[in-house]
Amino acid sequence: MLLFNQLIIIFIFLNPSWLFNFYIDKYEIYLIYILILFVFLFFVYLILVKIKRENIPILDKFFFSLIIFIFLDLNFGFLKISKIFNITSTVVEFAYPLILLLIIFLINFKLLKKNYSKLKKILVAIVVSVSIINLFNFISLENNNLQNDNKDDTNYEIYGKNIIIILDSFSNYLGDSKDLNQKFSEEKNKLKDFNFVIFENVFTKFYYTNNSLSSLLNFTTDLNDLNKLQKVVYRNGRPSNIMIKNKFLRDHVSSNNFVMNHFLFDMCQAELKKIVNCEITGNQLNPAHVQFMGYSDSFILRSSYFMLLKLFNKNIFHPFFSEKKNINKHLNIIKNAFLNKYDNYIILLQSSHPPNILDSECNISINYSSSYLDEFSCHINILEDLFLFMKKNEIFDMYNIHILGDHGQRRYDSINGLDNNELLSIFQTFYAYKGDNISKKIDQKSIISNQDLFKNLVLEDDYDFNTKAFILRSDDIPGFLDEITEIELKNVLNIDN
């Protein structure tokens, strides 16, 4: 009976449905954890049946102490103590959780000889209570996250068929090397063979994908609107963004639309009635899903994560590694979707996001290291392949096609502020367009945000554009502590490039 009780207690304390104070939505991860847990229980069982009966109470206390330590660490995070007391020493961070473990052992073995059984019952009751509270909090969180009042005074009536291909971190800015820029120009000019206009001085007004694309697809750059357009949820143990408004789809006359995006920025929830097919990438089982361990305040999870980084190349745990690895698979999904001839396509590809590990042929490079020029060439080749496929199937001329980046490569060191090259690396992005409705007020040298340019091309809106971008405190750029910092890019962007 003691053996059975011990196994039940271990399962109750370590089952992931209440173990984590963040939530995992991947069944594969849940099942793998359960499998590991049952293997662990099996070995505990083998140990208990092999030892002498008089040693079982000692082992019982040992396991129970260990379980309490794991439960407290994973639910409350012992490394939060480092934040509270500003502890920066790795040695100290490693030492004090172990001291806490020794204290738990001492309490169980020395101080609770008479009330040990009663303590176990009380703690099990507490854990079950925490489980129920977490479950209801999670249900409430999920229900609230997707609420959208859809109150908006501005309504458009949008016509025309569009393919919008968003390449994460795709930028016109390579650096100040003339040789590299010559090769860069040769690559991007391949799009001109397909009648694209390439806008040389396009920038984004916002640092992060969620702000950049939410503002772009909702035709607004008003900072007060950003929080109304998106919500944060937890997926695979880390914060993910869901766009809850999409005025482009809402106001388009068609309801026959296709969306493809990464699970960390979900654009499919905003206008479900307008989307016939939604493809979510990156949500299959892959090593990137253990990255949540590195965000955790748990001593056990974070220590395990950094051990994995020591054993393997860190790039394979990046959330966009699977996007790069599966780039050809995603290309085939897009081609199949094109054959269905939906009216509008919104396609977000994260394979162009740093770290740069693809070579110019779109293969994972040796030592997981390449250059932005290599990855840029890779994606230009992908676009060429797509357009030739569309031409072969006589669908290329049916659509206005937008190819754009959401932000730059974001390579900077802000210790002494941001110089012009670093501002370009953050904000300068990419925009190429084939289709109708190009305004006479805009040419390929115009300094314009991708948000304003998209609005102009889709709505034929010729209002006065400005050349301001924004760094928000939530962007977490060191040295920028104000809620909003305005950046004037007019003199930063080179109109003669």
Q: Which of 95, 113, 145 is the last residue of a domain?
A: 145
DSSP string, 352-363: TSSS--B-TTSS
Confidence (pLDDT) at 389: 98
Backbone angles phi and psi of 317, in degrees to 5: -95, 0
| Same-domain pairing of 275 and 353 | yes
Q: Is there a domain that residue 54 lies in?
A: yes
Closest Cα partner for 156 from 432, 435, 455? 455
Residue 261 pairs with which residues in a beta bridge?
Answer: 280
Q: Which of 82, 111, 145 is the last residue of a domain?
A: 145
| Same-domain pairing of 118 and 187 | no
| Same-domain pairing of 175 and 206 | yes
Low-confidence ranges of the chain (pLDDT < 50): 1, 16-27, 30, 142-145, 495, 497
Confidence (pLDDT) at 253: 95
Instruction: With beta carbons less than 8 A apart as the criterion, state whether 77 and 100 touch.
Output: no
| Same-domain pairing of 444 and 378 | yes
Q: Is there a domain that residue 152 lies in?
A: no
Q: Order of strands across the sheet with 197-199?
A: 197-199, 431-434, 400-405, 162-167, 344-349, 257-262, 275-281
- Per DSSP, helices labelled H in 196-274 are 209-217, 247-250
Confidence (pLDDT) at 433: 96
DSSP string, 121-171: HHHHHHHHHHHHHHHHHHHHHHHHHT------S----B-S-EEEEEETT--
Task: Domain count for the chain, please give it.
Answer: 2
Query: From the CA atom positions of the chain, what is the Rg in Å?
Result: 27
CA 76 and chain centroid, separation = 24
Q: Is there a domain that residue 23 lies in?
A: yes
- CA-CA distance, 230 to 235, in Å (whole number)? 15
Confidence (pLDDT) at 145: 47
Confidence (pLDDT) at 14: 56
Confidence (pLDDT) at 23: 42
Q: Is there a domain that residue 292 lies in?
A: no
| Same-domain pairing of 264 and 369 | yes
Confidence (pLDDT) at 13: 57
Q: How many CA atoms lie within 13 A of 296 on its CB side?
A: 27
- In terms of residue numbers, what domain contains 340? 162-283+301-488
| Same-domain pairing of 200 and 86 | no
| Same-domain pairing of 305 and 342 | yes
The first and second tokens of residue 237, run together, are 């143990």
Q: What is the DSSP letter of 208?
A: S
Q: For the domain that residue 352 is a member of, what is the CATH number?
A: 3.40.720
Closest Cα partner for 428 from 159, 175, 164? 175
Q: Is there a domain that residue 495 lies in?
A: no
Angle at 307 between CA 302 and CA 311, to 5 degrees: 145
| Strand bridging mode 265-266 / 238-243 | parallel
Q: Is there a domain that residue 402 lies in?
A: yes
| Same-domain pairing of 138 and 258 | no
Confidence (pLDDT) at 48: 66
Residue 476 neighbours by CB distance under 10 Å: 10
| Same-domain pairing of 185 and 313 | yes
| Same-domain pairing of 250 and 139 | no
- CA-CA distance, 369 to 313, in Å (whole number)? 11
| Same-domain pairing of 9 and 91 | yes
Q: Is there a domain that residue 357 lies in?
A: yes
Q: Which of 145, 172, 199 is the last residue of a domain?
A: 145
Confidence (pLDDT) at 439: 76
| Same-domain pairing of 32 and 179 | no
Q: Is there a domain that residue 322 lies in?
A: yes
Confidence (pLDDT) at 497: 44
